[in-house]
Structures are given as structure tokens and as C-alpha cells.
Amino acid sequence: MELQGFERHDHASCIRDGVDAAAEHCRREGLQLTPVRRRVLEILLERHRALGAYDILDTLRDEGLGSQPPVAYRALDFLVKNGFAHRIERLNAFVACNHPGENHSPAFLICRKCDRVAEGQADPASDMLGRSAAAIGFRIERAVVEAEGLCPACQENDRK
């Protein structure tokens, strides 16, 4: 599994790639990446962290793209439904997807100190819970996997 989120990276291309992947996916699927939806995705990619719906709404409002909660929630619903973003239940917040386009079950590492989030993969069928579920006949459709702890950088700072 490839983990992303805590290491340094070329952020400009990270934003560009995210938007491009979404645009391409929408083109193929006949979905509309409208200005609001595109901008919300950009905001998530730019900030590169988990953002609450109202944080995003503040930015939209500043830019004249919408001022009421449904505007933000509708765009986020679209992004989540189509796999361009994920909801972090633990934080009531949203992050841009690191593997857009790919069909995947995300798992997250959330730093409780700096609030940054790394996204990885967790195959729900292969782990202990998945096997036990299969054993009792429970059919898993979706799994929320969110680990909380300290990222490498914050462990460093703790020691200082």
C-alpha cells in the first residue's frame, strides 16, 4: 500500500493532477464538473488537509461562489459520490482523494496534533474483520477506517 500525505511533494502538480483527473473522469462519464464543484475540489487540493464544510463555504463566500450551506454540501456530495474526495467521519470533514479515478476503499491516518491526513488502501475483505464478517454472513459494502495518532513530524516535535 502506498501512503501519501505527510511527505513533502510538488504541491502545484498535485493540485493540477487532481483537477485534471476529475475533469477527465467527468468527461468520460458525462458528469458536469461545474465551477462550484471544480472550485471546491481545488480548495481541498490546495489546503491539502481535512476541511469542514463550513470552512469551504467561507472560501466560496469570499469568492462570490455561494454563501449558504447547501452550496458546499452539494458540491461535496458530488465529489464524494464520484470518488474525488472522501469524508472523514472522525473529523466531520472532507479531504481530496489521493487516488482519483481508481476504484478503492480508502483508509486514513489522522495526526491528532497537526490534523493532517494521509490516505492509504484497506481492502475490507482481507483483514480480520472482513473474514469474521464473511463467517457470520454479514455482507460488507463499505468500510470506514480511520486511524488516529502522531505523524512522524509531530513525534519529532514532541521529543524536543
154 is in an annotated binding site: yes
Cβ 128 to Zn ion, closest distance in Å?
15
Q: Which of 41, 75, 96, 111 binds Zn ion (CB under 5 A)?
A: 111
Based on C-alpha coordinates, what's the Rg of the chain? 17
Q: Which of 73, 146, 153, 154 binds DNA (CB under 7 A)?
A: 73
Strands 93-96 and 117-121: unpaired
The minimum distance between CB 63 and Zn ion, in angstroms, equals 26
- x-marked contacts with a second copy along 81-110 as a string, rule CB under 8 A: --------xx----------------x-x-
149 touches a second copy (CB under 8 A): yes
Are 146 and 105 within 8 A, CB to CB?
no
CA-based nearest residue to 105, from 124, 82, 90, 92: 124
Cα(24)–Cα(28) distance, rounded to whole angstroms? 6
Q: Judge whether 5 and 117 are in contact, CB under 8 Å.
A: yes
CB neighbours of residue 15 within 10 Å: 18
Mask for 28-57, x = binds DNA (CB under 7 A): ---xx-xxxx--------------xxx---
By a kind-dependent CB cut-off of 5 to 8 A, residue 30 interacts, out of Zn ion, a second copy, DNA, none, with none
Give the annotated binding-site residues for Zn(2+). Answer: 111, 114, 151, 154
